[in-house]
Amino acid sequence: MKQRKAAVIGSGVAGLAGAVRLAVQGFEVHVYERNAYPGGKLTVFEKDGFRFDAGPSLFTQPHYLHELFSYAGESLDEYFQYSQVDLSCKYFYENGKEVNAWTDEDRLAEELHEHLGESPAAVRSYLQRSKKLYQNIGTIFLNHSLHKRSTWLQKSVLKALQTVRWPYIAGSLHRYNRSKFQTPEAVQLFDRFATYNGSNPYQTPGMMSMIPHLELNEGTYYPTGGMISITNALMALAKKKGVHFHFNTAVDRIIQHAGKVEGVVVQNENVAADVVLSNADVYFTYRNLLQDADKAKQLLKQERSCSAIIFYWGMNREFSNLHLHNIFFSKNYAAEFNSIFKLKTTYADPTVYLNITSKMEEGHSPAGKENWFLLMNAASDSGQDWNSLRLKLRQQVIDKLSRMLQTDIASAIETEEYLDPVRIETRTQSYRGSLYGTSSNSKMAAFLRHPNFKNSIKGLYFCGGSVHPGGGIPLCFKSAQIATELIAQQFSNNSKH
């Protein structure tokens, strides 16, 4: 019997995971990547002796990696090592308050009581509700296609839906958090989790209160070697399973005929394939690869997620009061999100996320120095003058951190690089530089996100942050799993006829 062929477009986390799963299913898999390197946003670079993870910096839910390697008949330990981090994030407020967000429920409850005056019982109750919501509802969204009738007919799904309470749907995450905590600092801390999928806590539904469970209940981890180790492990596994990689090789078009995929056009040559799995941004896939302008335009009706401006600073000294993950909050969170999503610009008092991997292992910066990754949420690109906005934001960040850390930050910057929405789109093909495709700022957002398949084109499937179930490393693993399970189902059904 002739071996079936699969073409995977893009080698982001979802594309790599999907390629592995297809290879295990028996496909001859070819991955086409327009860049010279794998990983999509999950890459690394070095400058002047400093090493920077270029994209995602938070590692949670390592069981998805274990699951993938187990599916492939391999032990993750032989490819990848990681350790648990007891402190998920250190929070700094303009009023001088500081909070250590421990990944132990009792310890976190005591921390918020001691530093903010919150009731320990309220903190425990919130985390328990977050866990229950994730286990009852979150797992439905993560493990199933929401666009298949069979999903909604399962007894377990119907039972889980009965646990949904009105506040999770009717009000915003901010409104929900405000009803659970007494202090604005605690509300802001838990509002922050809306940014995990590029959303606005004042718009995204209370259902998003399940997100803190991933970091605070399940735990935060650090991959040995930095986040690039995830990409390296996936590449090594894919190669072992016989996946073929083609770098510096963009796909020009997806070939379809009579409602069925037939392959891809690569460098003006037709390459036959029984299945095409697109890890490219879904808007880009429709506009360029399917040349379906109407569908691409339809996708734009959904609000884009936020983007970011990122600074990579090599610092000439160490800061003992900082940790791996740090947040310096804006004084006015509502005004900041209004600037990002309504005014489509940066905010004068930005919330700053600061990641420092040299806190975890040597070699990421010269001795006595630190590698700073600073991310500020920004609007997606719609023609703003990003050069001007970036320079303005840079000074605002320097002023803010100098004030809050009571030291001269500008004089400590030895070297730097940056990313803005335009550069993000150029390097990753994420439309308008949106980090997570569409936002989750509406009650129906989860259902409006593009499915992992296309009914009208048999054999065409989608994975990655711009489709179901969403952006972020864990969700990309799940999108690859859902898509490849649908592929397995397609060919299982074919073999029965």
| Segment 240-263, tens digit of pLDDT | 999 999 999 999 999 999 999 999
Which structural domains are found in the chain, ordered by start?
Answer: 1-42+227-303+441-497 (3.50.50.60), 103-223 (no CATH), 306-431 (no CATH)
pLDDT(472) > 80: yes
Q: Which amino acid is at 22?
A: L
The CA distance from 222 to 67, in Å, is: 18
Residue 145: predicted pLDDT: 60
Would you call 438 helix, strand, or coil by DSSP? strand
Which of 66, 15, 81, 100 shows the shortest CA–CA distance to 224?
81
Tokens of 376: 């500020």
As a dihedral over the C-alpha atoms of residue 26, residue 32, residue 38, residue 40, rounded to 10 degrees, the angle is -110
Pick the more confident residue, 387 or 494: 387
Mean pLDDT across the stretch 259-268? 97
Q: 169-173, 178-182, 231-235: lowest mean pLDDT where?
A: 169-173
The CA distance from 342 to 345, in Å, is: 8
Q: What percent of the chain has pLDDT over 70?
A: 90
CB atoms within 10 A of CB 157: 16
pLDDT(143) > 80: no
Identify the residue whose tokens are 């940790």.
323
pLDDT(88) > 60: yes
Please, which pLDDT band fits residue 497 given cuts at 50, 70 and 90? very low
76 secondary structure, DSSP code: G
Hey, what long-range contacts does 124-132 have (CB within 8 A, 24 or more apart)?
125/180, 126/180, 126/181, 126/190, 126/209, 126/212, 127/212, 127/213, 127/216, 127/217, 129/209, 130/209, 130/210, 130/211, 130/212, 130/213, 130/216, 130/217, 131/213, 131/217, 132/163
| Segment 387-437, tens digit of pLDDT | 999 999 999 999 999 999 999 999 999 999 999 999 999 998 898 999 887
Residue 153: predicted pLDDT: 57
258 close to 457: Cβ distance less than 8 angstroms: no
Residue 303: predicted pLDDT: 80
Q: How many CA atoms lie within 13 A of 301 on its CB side?
A: 9
Would you call 336 helix, strand, or coil by DSSP? helix
pLDDT(443) > 80: no
Residue 166: predicted pLDDT: 47
164 secondary structure, DSSP code: -
pTM confidence score: 0.92
Mean pLDDT across the stretch 309-333? 98
Pick the more confident residue, 496 or 273: 273
